[in-house]
Amino acid sequence: MKIAITGKGGVGKTTLAGLLARLLADRGDTVLAIDADPDANLGSAIGISPEALGSTTPISKMKDLAEERTGAEGDGFYSLTPYVADIPEEFAIEHKGIRLLLLGTVEQGGGGCICPEHALVRTLMKHILFQKGESVVMDMEAGIEHLGRGTAESVDALITVVEPGSRSLQTAKQIWKLAADIGLEKHFVVASKVRNETETAYLQAHLPETELLGVIPMSDEVRQADMENIAPYDLQGEIVESAKQILKKLEQGLK
């Protein structure tokens, strides 16, 4: 299963990505977690120590590696399909049966130019998504910039996390338009930070054509986990049970 999770910043998409990655690993899946958000927090949501995360550089910031793999030598010519098969194994951080790869984002110049780092990241994403036999959970920024027409067909599901509020819903609709443009058809919604049935009903009323996988309630568990510097999954509370039901409904929706 290959899942891309997105949504407006602060809605809880990283928390959901961490919960799903841990659930998949605990049941025996081979799991690769991809942090493609510039505000990289997926590692802490999985439970990786700050020390391990602090010593890791996102792939998009590895300029020397990008130049080496693409053959860029300052003359403006380089390969758009560099060798990337060894990158997940060499640069991933392992924790609780999950390999985490910090992808990061590429800062591009005017005109949408493609630099060696961008070529490396795009080729790496294609390689990861075309690989068989492992589950992939991608924590995206508020969009799907790392995905394209060549990779969308390999994503089993796009999950957009929303919270009760018009701005979150507006971001979700923009994401779905982008998804449709690249041919990514399977998209679902998870409601997050929901305090009561009224807020659930509000979201359902504004998402009539999109399947709601489930609700992650507003909870002190995430805040407690953050204060204790542990993964929300390790508290084994209400949000973990919610994530289990979300995963179950997702798999049913993909059959």
Question: In this structure, how many other beta carbons lie within 10 angstroms of the beta carbon of residue 199?
Answer: 18
Alpha-carbon distance values, 196 to 50, 179, 202, 216, 218 (Å): 34, 30, 10, 11, 9
Alpha-carbon distance values, 237 to 11, 16, 17, 27, 252 (Å): 19, 14, 16, 18, 24
CA Rg value for the chain: 18
Per residue in 178-208, pLDDT (tens digit) is 888 888 888 899 999 999 999 989 998 888 6
Residue 105: pLDDT band with limits 50, 70, 90 = confident
**In angstroms, rounded to a whole number, what is the distance separating the alpha carbons of residues 20 and 3?**
10
Average pLDDT value for residue range 89-118: 80
Least confident piece of the model among 62-71, 148-157, 218-227: 148-157
Per residue in 7-22, pLDDT (tens digit) is 998 899 999 999 999 9
Residue 109: pLDDT band with limits 50, 70, 90 = very low
- For a pLDDT cut of 90, what percent of the chain falls above it? 55
Which ranges in the chain belong to alpha helices (H)? 13-26, 42-46, 50-54, 63-70, 87-91, 116-130, 149-152, 166-181, 197-206, 220-228, 238-253
The answer to whether the beta carbons of residues 4 and 37 sit under 8 Å apart is no
**In angstroms, rounded to a whole number, what is the distance separating the alpha carbons of residues 229 and 245?**
25
Which helix (H) or strand (E) covers residue 161, if one does? strand 157-162
Per-residue pLDDT at 59: 93
Dihedral-angle region of residue 103 (phi above 0 means left; psi in -120 to 50 means alpha; beta otherwise): alpha
Whether the predicted pLDDT of 137 surpasses 90: yes
Per residue in 54-88, pLDDT (tens digit) is 889 999 999 999 999 999 876 668 888 999 999 99
CA 33 to chain centre: 7
Per-residue pLDDT at 107: 61
CATH of domain 2-253: 3.40.50.300
The answer to whether the beta carbons of residues 166 and 158 sit under 8 Å apart is no
The domain segmentation of the chain, as residue ranges, is 2-253
Average pLDDT value for residue range 131-157: 84
Type of residue found at 148:
G
Torsion of CA 231, 90, 83, 70, to 10 degrees: 90
Mean pLDDT of the chain: 89
Whether the predicted pLDDT of 151 surpasses 90: no
Question: Which tokens hold the place of 137?
Answer: 């959970």
Per-residue pLDDT at 11: 92
Torsion of CA 160, 162, 168, 172, to 10 degrees: 20
Alpha-carbon distance values, 245 to 30, 43, 145, 211, 212 (Å): 20, 23, 28, 14, 12
